[in-house]
Amino acid sequence: MDQVAAFLPYFFEGTWVTLQIFVLGLILALLVAFAAGLGRMSSIHAIRWPCAVFIEVFRGTSAIVQLFWFFYALPLFLDIRLTPLMAGVLVLGLNQGSYAAEIVRGAVQSVPLTQWEAATALNMPKRTTLRRVILPQALVAMLPPFGNVAVDLMKNTSLVALVTVLDLTYRAQLIRATTGETTIIFGLLVVVYLILTNGISLLRRMLERRMPAGLAYAPGRE
Amino acid sequence: MYWDWSFAWDSLPALLEGLWITVQLTLGGSVLALVIGLVLAMLRRTNVEPVRWLIGAIIEVLRGTPFLVQLFFVFYVLPKYGIQLPVLATGIIVLGLNYSAYTAECYRAGIEGVPQGQWEAARALNLSTGRIWRAVILPQAIPRVIPALGNYVNQMFKDSAIVGAIGLFELLNTAKQIGGLTYRFLEPLTMAAVLFLAISYLASIGVRRLERRMHSAETAGADVNPPHLALGKPA
């Protein structure tokens, strides 16, 4: 126990690394989600197709396969050398972004077509309609599933331990190997992740309560 | 570096062997997840408060922690208490447990979709609780959640690659090993990814087709349940 106590500061530094990967990954995932999700609905073939292929490929393989590919295979292929942290953020962002892209698409399509028609009748350009009429309504529908994506992203950050990023999981492994106090350190690891994922759920609920305020029209309220 | 077809071709047999382990993981994990999930979903409806609380806590922990961490926990902690399991068994158990938390929610939705009147009618006929579950509730609850369960099986197939982290040579870890031995990571890792993609894509098409068929059966007024089990339509 004393042995583990000596390593605790080192362990908790990992929380910072994990949070960093989570936040950067989430930002990337959101950007990817809107780009690919809206792109997949484009009327232009050259935009729609690549977006659809991207989404299907990244949803069709798991984050760990993509992580190993970006970490081991990509440098040999394109002569790009990513740091383990960069590879982790990139893969988690693209992977969760591909799931979130389908959420964006579903939410935009859930806004009644009459909203588009009404905006057209008011002579509003398509781009403005999307930005001022459709997205504000779709955003409310996106929030709950985005919360799930964020929780999944947090859990997937543990995978970066397998490409030697010193996150919580990897540090726990190192401490286990050094001290042999397996039960204590892994028990602690489980508790820290529970706190992190529950924190995200809490944050999501707070956001959900605030979001629809001031919105005259919310999906499902016709 | 360029793509070497002959090297890719040479590593295929080893990759297929890895794929076989991946399939075993998926099948074993699915059976466990489908059974444990159902048990959890049924226990969650009990009147005994502590049991309900316990089940809720188990599901919360399984859903709130990473699969990799659960895997490490079982792999490193259990031997400390004298429980030695083969790596494949460890992988199947952790996969099954992890996914049972998700399938339980799935089953719960199905069970809650069965109208209350079915319970009341079955009780009025003096059926035992076990019989009510077996003959009335589950035959109506399970068919409608089969597509959703299918999605989880597909997801499990993809996630099973994580079990490589405890040294099992499933598809991904085999590819990584070939890369490590030859220092050619591109071909084996790409082929592993393509195999994962192809199989899960076909599976997702299958699930979607199943979904559509069940949906059209329902909207056409036909019951998806066998006729002798259709004990009356919800009002």
Tell me the chain A residues in contact with residue B76 when contact means C-beta distances shorter than 8 Å: 176, 182, 186
As a whole number of angstroms, the distance between CA A148 and CA A201 comes to: 8
Q: What average pLDDT does this structure show over B162-187? A: 93
- Look at residues A78, A92, A27, A67 and name the one whose alpha carbon lies nearest to residue A164: A67
How far does CA A202 lie from the centroid of its chain?
17
Among B61, B159, B204, select the one facing A194 at the smallest CB separation. Answer: B61
For chain A, domains (ranges, CATH) are: 2-210 (1.10.3720.10)
Per-residue pLDDT band at B228 (split at 50, 70, 90)? very low
pLDDT for the residue A191: 96
Helix, strand, or coil (residue B197): helix
What are B56-101's pLDDT values in tens digits? 999 999 999 999 999 999 999 999 999 989 999 999 999 999 999 9
Q: Compute the distance between CA of residue B75 and CA of residue B165 in angstroms, rounded to an integer.
A: 10
Mean pLDDT, chain B, integer? 90
Q: Which residue of A has its CA nearest to B59?
A: A194
Q: How far is B193 from chain A (nearest CA, A)?
A: 6
What is residue B227's predicted lDDT score, i.e. its pLDDT? 44
Looking at residue B13, its pLDDT comes to: 93
Which residues of chain A have a CB within 8 Å of the CB of B7?
none
Give residues with Cβ within 8 angstroms of B138, minimum separation 6: B38, B111
Average pLDDT of chain A to the nearest whole number: 90
Give the C-alpha distances (Å, rounded to integers) separating B178 from A81, A196, B1, B65, B175: 21, 36, 17, 31, 5
**Interval A180-191 mean pLDDT:** 93
DSSP codes of every residue in chain A: -HHHHHHHHHHHHHHHHHHHHHHHHHHHHHHHHHHHHHHTT-S-HHHHHHHHHHHHHHHHS-HHHHHHIIIIIHHHHH-----HHHHHHHHHHHHHHHHHHHHHHHHHHHS-HHHHHHHHHTT--HHHIIIIIIHHHHHHHHHHHHHHHHHHHHHHGGGGGGGT--SHHHHHHHHHHHH--HHHHHHHHHHHHHHHHHHHHHHHHHHHHHTTTT-S--TT--
Least confident of B59-73, B154-168, B199-213: B199-213
CB A30 within 8 A of CB A94: no
- Report the chain B residue with the minimal C-alpha distance to residue A80: B1
CB contact under 8 A, A66 and B72: no
Beta-carbon contacts below 8 Å between A and B: 104
Query: Which pLDDT score, from 0 to 100, does residue A185 have?
Result: 94
- Please say if the pLDDT value at position B129 is more than 80: yes
Q: Looking at the predicted structure, is the pLDDT value of residue A47 above 70? A: yes
Lowest average pLDDT, out of A11-25, A32-46, B77-91, B201-215, goes to: B201-215
Contacts of A162 in chain B (CB under 8 A): 68, 165
pLDDT of A216 above 60: no
Q: pLDDT tens digit string along A66-83? A: 999 999 888 877 778 889
- pLDDT recorded at residue A212: 65
The partner residue sitting opposite A155, judged by closest CB among B66, B190, B201, is B66
Instruction: Identify the band that residue B216 occupies on the pLDDT scale cut at 50, 70 and 90.
Output: confident
Q: What is the pLDDT of residue B1?
A: 60
CA-to-CA distance for A29 and B26, rounded, in angstroms? 28
DSSP annotation of B211 = H
Residues B73, B75, B80: CA angle, nearest 5 degrees: 85
DSSP character string of A94-154: HHHHHHHHHHHHHHHHHS-HHHHHHHHHTT--HHHIIIIIIHHHHHHHHHHHHHHHHHHHH
Interchain contact, B65 vs A77, CB within 8 Å: no
- Using the beta-carbon criterion (under 8 Å), do B204 and A60 form an inter-chain contact? yes
Chain B neighbors of A64, CB-CB under 8 A: 159, 161-162, 164, 172
* Mean of pLDDT values over A13-22: 95
Q: How far is the alpha carbon of A98 from chain B, nearest alpha carbon, in Å? A: 14
Above 70 in pLDDT, residue A59? yes
Residues of chain A with Cβ-Cβ distance to B196 below 8 Å are: 60-62, 65
Q: How far is Cα B63 from Cα B180, in angstroms, rounded to an integer?
A: 34
pLDDT, tens digit, 9 for 90 and up, residues A115-152: 999 999 999 998 899 999 999 999 988 988 999 999 99
pLDDT at A211 over 80: no
What tokens appear for A65 in the block? 């396969």
Q: What's residue B222's pLDDT?
A: 47
pLDDT over threshold 90, residue B217: no
Nearest residue on chain A to B79, judged by CA atoms?
A182
- Does pLDDT of B223 surpass 60? no
Contact B72 A169 (CB under 8 A): yes
Pairwise CB contact (< 8 Å): B189 & A68: yes
**pLDDT of residue A101 exceeding 90:** yes
For B186, which of A56, A61, A77 is closest by C-beta distance? A77
The first and second tokens of residue B102, run together, are 């998700």
Higher pLDDT pick, B190 / B226: B190
What is the pLDDT at residue A74? 85
d(CA B162, CA A62): 9
Between B234 and B201, the more confident residue is B201
Q: Are B140 and B223 in contact (CB under 8 A)?
A: no
| Residue B99 backbone dihedrals phi, psi, to 5 degrees | -75, -20
Cα–Cα dist A92/A80, whole Å: 18
Region B179-204 average pLDDT: 93
Question: Do A162 and A72 meet the contact criterion of CB atoms below 8 Å apart?
Answer: no
Contact B76 A64 (CB under 8 A): no
- If pLDDT is split at 50, 70 and 90, which confidence band does B174 have? very high
Q: Give A82 or B19, the one with higher predicted confidence.
A: B19
Instruction: Go through the domains of chain B in sequence order and give each one's CATH number.
Output: 5-229 (1.10.3720.10)
Between residues A210 and B156, which one has the greater pLDDT? Answer: B156
Contacts of B69 in chain A (CB under 8 A): 158, 169, 186, 189-190, 193
Q: What is the mean pLDDT of residues B126-144?
A: 93
pLDDT, average across residues A44-73: 94
Residue A134: per-residue pLDDT:
93
Going by C-beta distance under 8 Å and a sequence separation of 6 or more, which residues neighbour residue B137? B111, B114, B118, B119, B122
Q: Does A217 touch chain B (CB under 8 A)?
A: no
Separation of alpha carbons A130 and A42, rounded Å: 12
Share of chain B above pLDDT 90, in %: 77
